[in-house]
Homo-oligomer: A and B are copies of this chain.
Amino acid sequence: MVKLDFSKGNGLIPAIVQDYKTGKVLMLAYINEEAWKKSLETGETHFWSRSRNELWHKGGTSGNVQKIKAIYVDCDNDTVLFQVEQIGGAACHTGYDTCFYRRIKEDGTIEIVGKKIFDPEEVYKK
């Protein structure tokens, strides 16, 4: 097993999540050693939430988990790439299919290119 290098980023390294079928990049989040082990053990992505400061099972509450289809590690062992099946079709809390739903055009303006899958006000309401 590859030994990941968690030393550079205060115990966190970035994990890129990509749709295993379309190749679309869905999101980037961070893993620590615990999140890495949990992801390997369960076959579903786990991250370390920098804002909540806790282990985060992506989709654990909503059911929109990410089923890991393949894992790659980069040349420096300090970034991983998860290819996943995104259950529910939306990776982003905004309701878009991908967190990268905004394209910066050459004139600096923004174009919305993502696909809206759900209405976050509906889904996250109390």
A residues near B (Cβ < 8 Å) are 1-2, 8-9, 14, 16, 18, 22-25, 27-28, 50, 70-76, 79, 81, 92-94, 96, 99-104, 108-110, 113
Are A104 and B14 in contact, CB atoms less than 8 angstroms apart? no
A100→B74 contact, CB < 8 A: yes
B72/A102 in contact, CB under 8 A: yes
- Asked whether B16 lies within 8 Å of A70 as measured between CB atoms, the reply is no
A100 touching B113, Cβ below 8 Å: no
Residues of B within 8 A of A110 (CB): 2
Docked Cα-Cα span, A96 to B25, in Å, equals 21
Of A16, A50, A93, chain B has the most CB atoms within 10 Å of the CB of A16
